[in-house]
């Protein structure tokens, strides 16, 4: 029996709903697809659903994220990233079809403002938010200190593999 993980397809579909993404981060679509796949691959096989996996990434503007945040979370304000997990509850797996992990939606203006305020590049902050949102799709959370420590540690490891510095380091400006 091999210790190698199975070679499973992971599909990260990216849609840019705000045209300004390409102006500010020209390779945003490639960055988020790569970051999402890296985050999924970092999760132990035993903690992932069986079979091919799929998720969607939406590069949106603050107004779109504000509307989603209001409608689904009751907070009438934009936020940097929203994750809508499809695996919550009893989602049926269809044989031969990829298991849908859910959707990650990221707000352009908030990403740019936070990156500026934290002294990070917009590309690095976008990569971090993508990893963070993708890990939420896989059931990780930060509701208490133990969960937060585990999730942040995994984020730091995934980001290091993508060439992004520790976003939680003091000099980096802190947390999300």
- pLDDT given at position 1: 38
- The annotation status of 132 as a binding-site residue, yes or no, is yes
- The residue with greater pLDDT, 144 or 61, is 61
| Spatial distance between the Cα atoms of 23 and 129, rounded to a whole number of angstroms | 19
- The annotation status of 136 as a binding-site residue, yes or no, is yes
- pLDDT given at position 51: 82
pLDDT band at 170 (very low <50, low <70, confident <90, very high): low
Report how far apart the first and last C-alpha atoms of the chain are (Å, whole number): 41
User: What are 106's two structure tokens?
Assistant: 């990221």
pLDDT by residue (tens digit) across 92-137?
566 677 889 999 999 999 999 999 999 999 999 999 999 999 999 9
User: What are 67's two structure tokens?
Assistant: 């509307």
Question: E-assigned strands of the chain?
Answer: 10-16, 53-60, 81-85, 99-107
Tell me what the pLDDT averaged over the chain comes to.
88
Say which CATH topology domain 10-172 has: Collagenase (Catalytic Domain) (3.40.390)
pLDDT band at 9 (very low <50, low <70, confident <90, very high): confident
The domains of the chain are located at 10-172
pLDDT by residue (tens digit) across 55-86?
999 999 999 999 999 999 999 999 999 999 99
């Amino acid at each position: 029996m091999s210790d190698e993980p199975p070679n499973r397809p992971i599909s990260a579909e990216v849609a840019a709903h705000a045209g300004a993404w390409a102006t500010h981060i020209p390779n945003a679509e490639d960055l988020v697809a790569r970051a999402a796949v890296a985050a999924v691959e970092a999760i132990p096989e035993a903690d992932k659903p069986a079979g091919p996996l799929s998720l969607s990434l939406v590069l949106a503007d603050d107004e779109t994220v504000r509307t989603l945040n209001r409608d689904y979370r009751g907070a009438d304000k934009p936020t940097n990233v929203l994750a809508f997990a499809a695996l919550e509850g009893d989602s049926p797996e269809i044989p031969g079809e990829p298991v849908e992990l859910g959707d990650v939606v990221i707000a352009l203006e908030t990403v740019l403002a936070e990156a500026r305020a934290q002294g990070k590049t917009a590309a690095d902050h976008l990569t971090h938010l993508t990893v963070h949102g993708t890990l939420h799709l896989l059931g990780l959370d930060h509701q208490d200190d133990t969960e937060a420590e585990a999730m942040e540690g995994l984020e730091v490891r995934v980001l290091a593999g993508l060439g992004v510095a520790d976003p939680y380091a003091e000099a980096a400006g802190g947390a999300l």
